[in-house]
Structures are given as structure tokens and as C-alpha cells.
Amino acid sequence: MTLSAKTVVLIAIGAALYGIGGLPMFGIPVFANTTLKPAMAVLALFGVLFGPLVGFLVGFIGHWVTDLFAGWGVWLTWVLGSGIVGLLIGLYPKITNERLEKGKFTVWDFSLFVLLAFLGNVLGYGCSAYLDSVLYAEPFTKVMAQLTIIAAGNTLLIAIVGHFILTAVAKRKQQSYNLKEAD
């Protein structure tokens, strides 16, 4: 598999934005070792706009960057979880037949976006929680509490920020889509 230069640049930019935006100084601590990060909206938007591969790599590399700069060490289980979140949200263009590219963002499209964000968070960070419990002997109740809080909080955050941005993207695309060549 080869990646175009454009895709590599998108991944680098997305991972940097997600990685730096995920640092504790930009987040809201909500539970033991659990922070609600506005950078999740960056991950969701890169997945929606550029697909599952970009979404996965932005989440995976970006979370790795966060962990490195935060100083608590790299938690590969949660790095993988962020990658899975980006991958699942990145399925959006395929499922919607790229309606956003045509300037369409309906209530159904928004509902699908929120559903994918929720499933991505539950499955991605559910995998992280399970692996933490098995590999690191973290208490199961703790990791399940982390999962519940993060899945709900991230989904809400992604839905709010994503609605405004995707509505604006659709409006912009609609204007471009309706242009006709002058005679």
C-alpha cells in the first residue's frame, strides 16, 4: 500500500493537532487518569473528511504524541483505542456515499455521525479498557468507569463541535457544487 504525499501531510497535521490538543492543559479532568479532550473533535473531523485510514493514523499517532509529551509514558492500549475511534468515524464518507462532498448534511447524516462517534468510542476505548484490565491488572470497575465517562463525554463533545463544523463544510461544498462554467 502506498500513501500519497497529500495523505501523509494530512496524517501529520491531524496527528499533531490531536496530539498537542490532547495534552492535559487543554483537557478537563473527569475521573482517575481520565480527561475529556476537545481534541477528540479533531480526530472525528479528520476521520469524516479524509476516511478511515487517515482517521486511524491520526488517532494512533496523535495519542502517542500526547502520551509522550504529557510525561506519563505511552499507553499502547489507549493509543490503539484512539486509532479505532478514528477508523470507525472514518467510515462515514463510505456509508453516506460521500454526501458531504456534494454539500449534503441532513439530520440522518448527523445522526449517523453521532452513532459512529459513539460506537467508535465504545468499541475503541472498550478495547483499551479490556486490555488494561488483562495486561496491566487494572481494576475492571475502574476501567469500565473510565470507558463509560469517556464514551459519553467524547460523543457529546464530538456531536456538538462536529455539528457546527460539518454544517459549515456542507454549506461550503454546496456553494462549490452548484458552480457552473460560464459560456
With a cut of 80, say whether residue 34 has pLDDT above it: no
* 3-state SS, residue 31: strand
**Residue 183: inside a domain:** no
Percent of the chain with pLDDT over 70: 96
Instruction: Identify the pLDDT of residue 91.
Output: 98
Q: List for the chain the helix, strand, coil content (%; round to 5).
A: 75, 5, 20
Query: Which has the closest alpha carbon to 103: 163, 50, 176?
Result: 176
Q: What is the DSSP letter of 24?
A: G
**Residue 38: inside a domain:** yes
User: What is the span of the domain harbouring residue 15?
Assistant: 5-176
**Residue 52: inside a domain:** yes
Average pLDDT of span 95-107:
93
Query: Which has the closest alpha carbon to 40: 148, 120, 123?
Result: 120
- Give the pLDDT confidence of 5-32 residue by residue, as tens digits: 999 999 999 999 999 999 988 888 877 7
Hey, which residues does 34 pair with through a beta bridge? 31
**Residue 72: inside a domain:** yes
Terminal CA-CA length for the chain: 42
Task: Give the Cα separation of 129 and 117 in Å (integer).
Answer: 17
- Cell 509514558 identifies what position? 73
**Residue 12: inside a domain:** yes
Q: How many domains does the chain have?
A: 1
Instruction: Identify the pLDDT of residue 183.
Output: 53
User: How sure is the predictor about 176, in pLDDT bands with cuts at 50, 70 and 90?
Assistant: confident
**Residue 24: inside a domain:** yes
- Give the pLDDT confidence of 40-89 residue by residue, as tens digits: 999 999 999 999 999 999 999 999 999 999 888 899 999 999 999 999 99
- Cell 495523505 identifies what position? 7
Q: What is the DSSP letter of 3?
A: -
Q: Which of 20-34, 109-123, 148-162 has the lowest mean pLDDT?
A: 20-34
The CATH number linked to 18 is 1.10.1760.20
Instruction: Identify the pLDDT of residue 131.
Output: 96
* 3-state SS, residue 36: strand
**Residue 182: inside a domain:** no
**Mean pLDDT for the chain overall:** 92
Instruction: Identify the pLDDT of residue 105.
Output: 95
